[in-house]
Structure 1
Amino acid sequence: MQGNLNEIDIRSILQLIELGQRTGQLLVRADSVEHSSKLSGDEGTRHHHSYNCKQQSWFVFFLNGQIVYCQEGNSSLSEINDYLHHYRVEIREDMQLASLGSLNAAEYGYLWVLLERNLINPQIARHIIHGLVHETLFDLLSLHEGSFIFHQSSALSPQLTTLEITPLVAKIAQQLQEWKQLYPHIQSPDQLPVVADTIHLHASLPTPTMNKLKHWADGKTSLRQLARYLNRDILTVAKAIYPYVQQGWLQLMYANICTYSSYLSTMRVEDNYRMRIVCIDDTMTIGETVESILEPQGYEAIALTNPLEALSLVFKLKPDLILCDITMPELDGYEVCAMLRHATAFRLVPIIMLTGKDQFIDRVRARMVGATDYLTKPFSDTELLMLVEKYIKRA
């Protein structure tokens, strides 16, 4: 069984494996890009950007339709060591990954070595496995693009535990729904928290809590790592810091990894800058129409069809103007506009609402949430260009 995630989603794949009581391994791949930036030039005022495409991958191991273990394809000891940090287990540096386990489950072998040497007990090992399975499925159920292949093979052995798919997936799917409510303030488990306003945090938190926060919010520890250290799931950690991120007292930064699709969208040629316009509309033909009108006029037009994903992407894209449809599933245009206006980065960016009906009440509501103007669909090339020219200045 193999295919692309735009044809069948991860949840359906897992259900098929469970129903068929399959034994083997599922490999999922998604493109990503490593981005680095450094100063260049005589005065150090310009940045040189480099991008290296690479693939992220995940393995899920099954026994008779139940999950035995999950891990990222890029095997390292760091994830397990993060969990061991909570239990204050000291690991010698001479324990090497290369001699452990099978090729696709080296971390699993590492766990068994720790068990054999009595550095951890079976209860701790099962807890680590449950944590790794949970965070892997959290990532996989969020994927919309990529490829997969399932190999029927002998079971990963020995088994320390097995997990039923249906209740686990249902629980994580619910968490993902709650996670979406944290957009755009919290976007990824891999974001790095940094203390931005010590005065307000000191006034709001007890001193011991503040000291712990300053220790962890160092710009080097991701939300995912923090969840491992604290023995909490990622949603609980995100909800705990959400009020402080919302107030701007904590800031979240990205490390040097971004998705391939984001890279394609965000890469600009510095010496040939074009004004960037993002169109958020769940109807693909509208986005294509906007692109066909604006691109020949020298603009960079980017169409986004998922409003929830768009909220996180616009923070990376940094558009000069946003076109936003009013009637969309999950989040309507009024909600998108209001959420963007609460972010400092978008308080002055022109936001033009798109709608299929021209009613006074819609214009009033659009103004109330901070929209700059309003454009009724269908619109002509001239109408769109005149409105765009009205609100942004060409470079």
Structure 2
Amino acid sequence: MQGNLSEIDIRSILQLIELGQRTGLLFIQTDDSCSGSKFAYSYTESSLPRTWFVFFLNGQIIYSQEGNSSVFRLRDYLRYYRINLQGEETPSKTDSDKSLSAPEYAYLWRLLEQDIINPIQARSIIHGLVHETLFDLLSLRKGNFIFELDKPLAPQLTTLEIAPLVSKVFKQLQEWNQLSPFIQSPDQCPVLTDVERLRSSLASSTVEKLQHWTDGKTSLRQLARYLNRDVLTLAKAIYPYVQQGLIHIVSDDTVLSLTHKDVQQPPEKELQAIVCIDDAVAICERVQSILQLNGYNAIAFTNPLEALNAVFQIQPLLILCDIVMPDLDGYELCAMLRHSSAFRVVPIIMLSGKSSYIDRVRANMVGATDYLTKPFDQTELLLLIRKHLAVAGGAISLPHGHFGRRSEDANADSQKAALVD
């Protein structure tokens, strides 16, 4: 059995294997490292395909792995049991033939044989590995698959029924989508951006743990492994703090300009930036040109999701934001920023080709400071920017008037419970 994921989805493939009580190996490969997945939020330029292997016995899952020969995932899981592996990262040639197709599995068996772990721990680790593999696979929409009848991995540590596991993971994926665009990929990394405010709402011990783990280099998935929790539970626990701008989500290859006291602060010129977010390249170039010619440091973004990530690092003095954009429109972006304390006093000017009263009211409702209709000339743009920069310079809250801000404070008690429990 083989085919394309645009014609049949992973869930249906697994159901067929289960109904047929098949024994063998399922191989899945994406078109590239980002395509087809709901977790396509990545800063890397890599176009290498991702591959997975899932092993079956009589229609049940024995084990699964992503297509590489290292045991880094296993090392992450073993940290929970305070087991620190030393030495080689792949099984030796003295291991059985199973190491050729499933090196992690062979390594796990070696740890069992050496009494480094016990069978209960081994089964728990396999369940975690299978769960996170399905979490990735069930989100795929593009790629290819091949299922081959074959002898099962032996000996078996455990078998997992497909239907209940797939149903559980599918529901988790639906909940995961609700965290977008703040959190999009298990491979993103959390990092603290406002330690002092966290100390005022969380216990010192909890903040210390967060400081230890949220270093901008450890992914959400790795943290979930370290804590022996599924990645959704972890993401939901930190989600309120991400919304408030206290924790920032980045990719591990992103160069960060953080607000930690022990990290070098970005240059003053960057702190004084004005950000323009518009999917039209011509508008971005025009605004950037006007502002730079008039002595402002202007930074433009045509992708609203990238802009949402970047503004927490740049901390701009003012934001110009288009309304009609793909993936995330200006109303949604403005509302998200207003939920963060970092953007309570930052003027946000909405840009739109429409000048209707309804559009202006809607902009007001999501917290916009003002509204500028396109096309606009240089004088209009500069007058509006100078006006709001002057007001914001000494403001404690947003200026009163037609474009006032509305927001609701998050429930602090529920946030504490989600992170500590």
**TM-score scaled by length of structure 1:** 0.68
What does 1:109-124 align with in structure 2 at a 5 Å threshold?
109-124=106-121
Contact persistence 1:337–1:351 (CA under 8 A): no
DSSP-derived class of the 2:26 partner: strand
Who is 1:263 aligned against?
none
Aligned CA distance change for structure 1 residues 351 and 366 (closer, same or farther; 3 Å): same
Who is 1:71 aligned against?
65
What does 1:170-319 align with in structure 2 at a 5 Å threshold?
170-256=167-253, 278=279, 315=308
Aligned CA distance change for structure 1 residues 321 and 251 (closer, same or farther; 3 Å): closer
Contact persistence 1:27–1:57 (CA under 8 A): yes
Deviation at 1:17, TM superposition (A): 1.5
Contact persistence 2:277–2:307 (CA under 8 A): no
Match of 1:92 among 83, 86, 97: 86
Encode CA deviations 1:350-372: one digit per residue, 9 max, x unaligned: 56599xxx997677446533688
Aligned CA distance change for structure 1 residues 245 and 251 (closer, same or farther; 3 Å): same
Who is 1:145 aligned against?
142
Aligned CA distance change for structure 1 residues 213 and 370 (closer, same or farther; 3 Å): closer
After superposing the two structures, state which structure 1 stretch, 129-138 or 50-59, moved more.
50-59
**Structure 1 unmatched ranges of 5 or more:** 34-48, 258-274, 279-293, 301-309, 376-385
DSSP-derived class of the 2:148 partner: strand
DSSP-derived class of the 1:218 partner: coil
CA distance in 2 between counterparts of 1:339 and 1:149 reads: 42
- Residue 60 (structure 2) pairs with residue 59 (structure 1): no
CA distance in 2 between counterparts of 1:208 and 1:299 reads: 45
Contact persistence 1:353–1:366 (CA under 8 A): no
Deviation at 1:61, TM superposition (A): 1.0
Contact persistence 2:190–2:247 (CA under 8 A): yes
Structure with higher strand content: 1
Aligned CA distance change for structure 1 residues 247 and 342 (closer, same or farther; 3 Å): closer
DSSP-derived class of the 1:102 partner: helix
Contact persistence 1:183–1:312 (CA under 8 A): no
Encode CA deviations 1:89-138: one digit per residue, 9 max, x unaligned: 23231574353433221111111111111111110000000000011111
What does 1:367-378 align with in structure 2 at a 5 Å threshold?
368-369=365-366
Contact persistence 1:245–1:251 (CA under 8 A): yes
**Structure 2 unmatched ranges of 5 or more:** 35-42, 255-275, 286-302, 312-318, 383-421
Contact persistence 2:65–2:133 (CA under 8 A): yes
Aligned residues: 320
Aligned CA distance change for structure 1 residues 388 and 255 (closer, same or farther; 3 Å): farther
Contact persistence 2:189–2:218 (CA under 8 A): yes
**TM-score scaled by length of structure 2:** 0.64
Match of 1:167 among 155, 158, 164: 164
Deviation at 1:337, TM superposition (A): 6.5
DSSP-derived class of the 1:239 partner: helix
Aligned CA distance change for structure 1 residues 10 and 63 (closer, same or farther; 3 Å): same
Encode CA deviations 1:57-93: one digit per residue, 9 max, x unaligned: 1111111111111111023111001111110123231
CA distance in 1 between counterparts of 2:337 and 2:307 reads: 9
